[in-house]
Amino acid sequence: MNAIKTKLQALLRNKRLVQTLKIAFPLAVIIFVFIQGKKELSRFSLRESLHAIRLISSEYFTGLIVLGGLAVATMFFYDRLLLRSIKAPVPIGKTFRVSWIANTFNGIVGFGGIAGVGIRTVLYRPFTGDAGKLLLAIAWMAPSMISGLSLLGILVLLHVFPAGELLAAKGWLWIVLVGVALFFPAYLLFSRWKGRANANAKLTFGYTVVSFIEWLAAGSVAYVILFMLKADVSYGEVIGVFTVSAIAGLISMVPGGFGTFDITYLIGLQALGVADSTVFTALLLYRIVYYFIPFTLGLIFAAFEFGGVAVKKFEDHPTLGSYIESGSILWFVQRSIWSSLSAWSVVILLFMTSLFLFTYT
């Protein structure tokens, strides 16, 4: 009896420690972003950057929106590989919409990937006979979104995409760069060892190729924006700084790397001699065309897709039970959101902090 009591007390202590870390780490990130942001953004004016964006011709701005959309669309191939691995007959149009919803929601909402997992589970489940198999396949796919960034990290270490100035300015980034660079070979070796249909080396490599293209496409959007703003910096340098900044944003565990990515990117481009105001304007444009506009389209897709799920449930079972079942789908998503409320609160706090810094400095 005493042994059981001791174990329970140990579990409770561990649970309290985990809860404390969940609060302490995001707070540390907020403090870091606030201190660094206040120092780095004190010279910038949001009004001037917005004015610079308004000076961009409608043709160029439309082109950036299209380019951002194409970069987001590369993530469609994650879902194609996923569905092929479990032999789920989902139409291409449906796959594209679900992929767009899941990936744009992950970028803005995040919840450690819970948003994407929940959305894919709900919308792909009618096409699979085994929900457990679907969940396992999605769970294996999720880490692959990092493996492409890991591959880019290896290329940074090999100086294919140089980021020496940024790494020299912030020496601690070497540690996280090496750590993330090691993820890809470890992920590939583990998949070879597992050897299952939805977790084999061939599928893992396919996911990694998609991930690599996705991150490279996002970095290319960032480069085109800087090119349009007449920044004197090469493609390789931008991709190098973008990769290290994305890794910094990744370890912050904040959706889209908001705050951490931006500050690191800013420091990296400043080290390359790009004008401060140009970097700030480029960051705003990047967030608009790669995150916020695609997310808006994702909301429209979500309204139709989730509405369709509820209607189908009613048509198949026009009883009170069907409403309860449909409600349970929405509750599943809501429960995932509420269970990660602390993470979402951090995002809101970071956003408000950034907005304050941008507006009043």
Compute CA distances 184 → 119, 190, 349, whole Å: 26, 10, 32
Is residue 89, in this structure, part of any structural domain at all? Answer: yes
pLDDT tens figures, 45-79: 566 666 667 778 788 889 999 999 999 999 999 99
Lowest mean pLDDT of 67-71, 86-90, 222-226, 290-294, name the range: 86-90
3-state helix, strand, coil in the chain (%, to 5): 85, 0, 15
What is the H or E stretch that residue 204 is in? helix 201-228
Among 216, 248, 225, 180, smallest CA distance to 65 is for 225
Provide the domain limits for residue 64.
47-302
pLDDT tens figures, 251-265: 876 666 677 888 899
**pLDDT above 80: residue 164:** yes
Among 51, 40, 103, 66, smallest CA distance to 358 is for 40
Is residue 244, in this structure, part of any structural domain at all? Answer: yes
Per-residue pLDDT at 265: 92
What percentage of residues in the chain have a pLDDT greater than 90?
31
Is residue 38, in this structure, part of any structural domain at all? Answer: no
Pairwise CA distance, residues 60 & 77, whole Å: 27
Pairwise CA distance, residues 294 & 312, whole Å: 27
For residue 196, the one-letter residue type is R
Pairwise CA distance, residues 56 & 230, whole Å: 12
* Mean pLDDT comparison of 6-15, 218-227, 317-326, highest-scoring range: 218-227
pLDDT tens figures, 70-96: 999 999 999 999 999 888 899 999 999
When divided into structural domains, the chain yields a total of 1
239 versus 195: the higher-pLDDT residue is 239
As a whole number of angstroms, the longest Cα–Cα distance in the chain is 75
Lowest mean pLDDT of 13-27, 45-59, 345-359, name the range: 345-359
Q: What is the mean pLDDT of residues 288-292?
A: 92
Q: What is the mean pLDDT of residues 343-349?
A: 42
Is residue 68, in this structure, part of any structural domain at all? Answer: yes
Is residue 179, in this structure, part of any structural domain at all? Answer: yes
The pLDDT confidence band at residue 314, using thresholds 50, 70 and 90, is very low
Q: What is the pTM of this model?
A: 0.76
Per-residue pLDDT at 157: 94
Is residue 174, in this structure, part of any structural domain at all? Answer: yes
Is residue 351, in this structure, part of any structural domain at all? Answer: no
Is residue 333, in this structure, part of any structural domain at all? Answer: no
209 versus 330: the higher-pLDDT residue is 209
The pLDDT confidence band at residue 227, using thresholds 50, 70 and 90, is very high
